Amino acid sequence: MSDLLVKNAGQASGNTSDILIRNGVIEDIGSTIDGVADNFPVIDAEGYLVTAPFVDSHFHLDATLSYGLPRVNQSGTLLEGIKLWGELKPHLTADALVGRALTLCRWSIARGTLAIRTHVDITDPSLLAVEAMLDVKRQMAPYIDFQLVAFPQDGLLRANSMDNLVRALDLGVDVVGGIPHFERTMEDGARSVAMLCELAVERGLLVDMHCDESDDPMSRHVESLARETTRLGMQGRVAGSHLTSMHSMDNYYVSKLLPLMREAELNVIANPLINISLQGRHDTYPKRRGMTRVPEQIAAGLTVAFGHDCVMDPWYPLGSHDMLEVASMGLHVAQMTGIEQMHHCFDAVTHNPAKILHLRDYGLQKGCNGDLVILQATDVVDALRLKPARLAVVRRGKVISTTPAVKYDLALGGQQIQTDLTSKDLVRR
Ligand code: FE2
């Protein structure tokens, strides 16, 4: 827990403020804060945008950075990715899992992502990945808030994995996961949803299921998830991840489904980078985009977050755990180019996932954790447009990552001109 005064912090509103952090907690925010001791640590944000840290509400830390092991995904489909992960699982070691995850954590911190909900495959009876990810969570606790989800990748009923899932929860995994669309039948999928929600209620845990990650418009497990949530009184405690079949559903059916989701206060986690890559692979033309109906879900009053899902793994060859890349992709795929919509996309990788994860003391207000990121951007739209350098990343008042501002020196017609690509260069008249 450290002290820090951040001067000239650019705010989303366009104003600048000073932010005083004492003992790791934001003590004050004001137009000018002075009067601290001479040796008090100070950092000058120079008017650049300061944000609460990025939150990734959907990730797979056990599979990350395994791209190419034992081979690459030739078809680019979700199902080949699951098969490929199954081929790799017998060869996994704790050392390799932890080593790859720690590398990813360093990238996350450099990108200003300080809270991550990661699904962990529990279908291997040895629970090797669970033990390894719990180890990573412990090691990274000073820097990153981790939530682990017990994820039956090969199906709860299909792989008979309820016993493993319960043991994973006993070991300290935080959230109940599921994958109803991967069960053998629609009926099994619905049954798995009911069983998992009941287990979560019994244990007082949150739920986050991979749900309807399919282009099949008849994959309607989100309906079961919403209904079980309401039946069990779990409103606001359940998330549906992916929900890509909603993209392909009949519009009339969706007009009934959205109010059902609203009644359940079902949280939505879309994964734009991954679903724009994986979905529509069985289509010729036109090819469906495959992302869930984000603007309609926001309009229905649902909390929507964007997750990264994958970085260099059996499902996705790219990525560096940059949540601004995720937000930018989500914005493009959902055609959310209005100003307010772009702000929604920024919220989808900051405040909304923090709410879905039930993170405590998150935000840039007095009394919140002294966690923040200085972006080399003048405003939120700049941040989405440029995906700029994270000049400083602060955790509990301590600077844990820095990088110099990127500036370009141009020699044009005998003149030296400098630009950092931000909108402060714009001539507005
Ligand atoms: Fe996922």
> Cα angle at 244 between 325 and 303, to 5 degrees?
65
Report how far ligand 1's centroid is from the alpha carbon of 229 (Å): 21
DSSP secondary structure string, 156-202? Answer: TTTTT-HHHHHHHHHHT--EE---GGGSSSHHHHHHHHHHHHHHHHH
Q: Domains plus CATH for the chain?
A: 4-52+363-409 (2.30.40.10), 54-356 (3.20.20.140)
Distance (Å, whole) CA 388 – CA 325 = 10
- What pLDDT score was predicted for residue 117? 98
Residues listed for the chain? 429
Q: Is 213 marked active-site? A: yes
Other C-beta atoms closer than 10 Å to the C-beta of 178 total 31
Report how far ligand 1's centroid is from the alpha carbon of 396 (Å): 29
Specify the pairing of strand 267-270 against strand 238-242: parallel
Output the CA torsion sign for 328, 330, 334, 339: negative
- What pLDDT score was predicted for residue 167? 98
Report how far ligand 1's centroid is from the alpha carbon of 381 (Å): 27
Report how far ligand 1's centroid is from the alpha carbon of 372 (Å): 27
Q: Which residue out of 80, 131, 213, 263 is catalytically annotated? A: 213
Report how far ligand 1's centroid is from the alpha carbon of 415 (Å): 51
408: which strand partners? 419
Report how far ligand 1's centroid is from the alpha carbon of 391 (Å): 30
Report how far ligand 1's centroid is from the alpha carbon of 197 (Å): 19
pLDDT tens for each residue of 68-78: 998 999 988 88
The pTM (predicted TM-score) of the whole model is 0.97
DSSP secondary structure string, 245-270? Answer: HHHHS-HHHHHHHHHHHHHTT-EEEE
Which tokens in the block code for residue 386? 């440029």
Distance (Å, whole) CA 420 – CA 2 = 31
* SS3 track for 307-362: CCECCCECCECCCCCCHHHHHHHHHHHCCCCCHHHHHHHHHCCCHHHHHHCCCCCC
Contacts of residue 74, defined as CB under 8 A and 6 or more positions apart, other chains included, come to: 80
76-79 contacts: CB < 8 A, separation 24 or more? Answer: 76/277, 76/278, 76/281, 77/278, 77/281, 78/213, 78/278, 78/315
**Residue 322: left if φ>0, alpha if ψ -120 to 50, beta else—which one?**
beta
- What pLDDT score was predicted for residue 396? 98
- What pLDDT score was predicted for residue 285? 97
Report how far ligand 1's centroid is from the alpha carbon of 80 (Å): 14
Residue numbers in the chain where pLDDT is lower than 50: none
- What pLDDT score was predicted for residue 372? 98
- H/E element, 271: none
Amino acid identity of residue 53, one-letter, is: P
49: which strand partners? 10
Report how far ligand 1's centroid is from the alpha carbon of 18 (Å): 38
Other C-beta atoms closer than 10 Å to the C-beta of 252 total 8
Report how far ligand 1's centroid is from the alpha carbon of 309 (Å): 5
Report how far ligand 1's centroid is from the alpha carbon of 330 (Å): 16
Report how far ligand 1's centroid is from the alpha carbon of 60 (Å): 6
- In angstroms, the Cα distances linking 266 to 145, 224, 255, 400 are 23, 11, 15, 35
- In angstroms, the Cα distances linking 241 to 80, 166, 180, 349 are 19, 21, 11, 14
Find the distance separating the first CA and the last CA of the chain, reported in whole Å: 46
Report how far ligand 1's centroid is from the alpha carbon of 151 (Å): 9
CB 380 within 8 Å of CB 346: yes
Report how far ligand 1's centroid is from the alpha carbon of 376 (Å): 30
249-252 contacts: CB < 8 A, separation 24 or more? Answer: 249/217, 249/220, 250/217
- What pLDDT score was predicted for residue 12? 85
Report how far ligand 1's centroid is from the alpha carbon of 292 (Å): 14
CB 377 within 8 Å of CB 49: yes
Dihedral over alpha carbons 276, 282, 285, 288 (to 10 degrees): -30
